[in-house]
């Protein structure tokens, strides 16, 4: 099984998660919202499911998916030591004066 970060690396999967953020949704909705073929969406859902990032509920022939945020907690914890870094760096900036070049504005997520 893939690590949470590997699973989240896929933009389509983040898209699906973001769609589920507003509440549980059947697969059909996700297909519309993500502009991919239904099989692709199903495959991504499988990966997300195996990573514990979503869970399913069955409603007749529909499968309703919803977010399962627990794995993201681990990510949050991994982030913790770095969080300290960027906190302390605010202070360090003063010593650097303004000699630093602008941060790259093209950063994604």
Query: Where along the sequence are the contacts to DNA (CB under 7 A)?
Result: 2, 9-10, 12, 26-28, 31, 36-47, 56, 58, 60-63
28 in the Ramachandran plot: left (φ > 0), alpha (ψ -120 to 50) or beta?
A: alpha
What's the CA gap between 72 and 78, in Å, rounded? 10
CB nearer to its own copies: pick between 21 and 38: 21
The footprint of its own copies on residues 22-41 (CB under 8 A) is none
Give yes or no for a contact between 54 and 45, defined as CB atoms under 8 angstroms apart. yes
The correct pick among 37, 46, 57, 75 for binding its own copies (CB under 8 A) is 75
Please identify, using beta-carbon distances, which residue of 60 and 90 lies nearer to its own copies: 90
Return the number of the residue (58 or 95) whose C-beta is nearest DNA.
Answer: 58
Distance separating alpha carbons of residues 27 and 89, to the nearest angstrom: 44
| Burial track 25-42 (b if 16+ CB lie within 10 A, e otherwise) | bebebbbebbebeeeebe
Contacts with its own copies, residue ranges (CB under 8 A):
1, 3-6, 8-9, 11, 14, 17, 21, 51-52, 67, 69-76, 78-79, 81-83, 85-86, 89, 103-104, 106-109
């Amino acid at each position: 099984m893939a690590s949470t970060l590997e699973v989240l690396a896929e933009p389509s999967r983040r898209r699906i998660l973001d769609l589920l953020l507003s509440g549980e949704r059947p697969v059909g909705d996700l297909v519309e919202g993500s502009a991919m073929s239904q099989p692709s969406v199903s495959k991504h859902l499988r990966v997300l499911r195996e990573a514990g990032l979503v869970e399913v509920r069955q409603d007749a022939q529909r499968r309703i998916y919803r977010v399962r945020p627990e794995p993201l907690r681990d990510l949050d914890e991994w982030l913790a030591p770095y969080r300290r870094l960027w906190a302390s760096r605010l202070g360090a900036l003063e010593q650097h004066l303004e000699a630093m070049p602008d941060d790259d504005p093209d950063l994604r997520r």
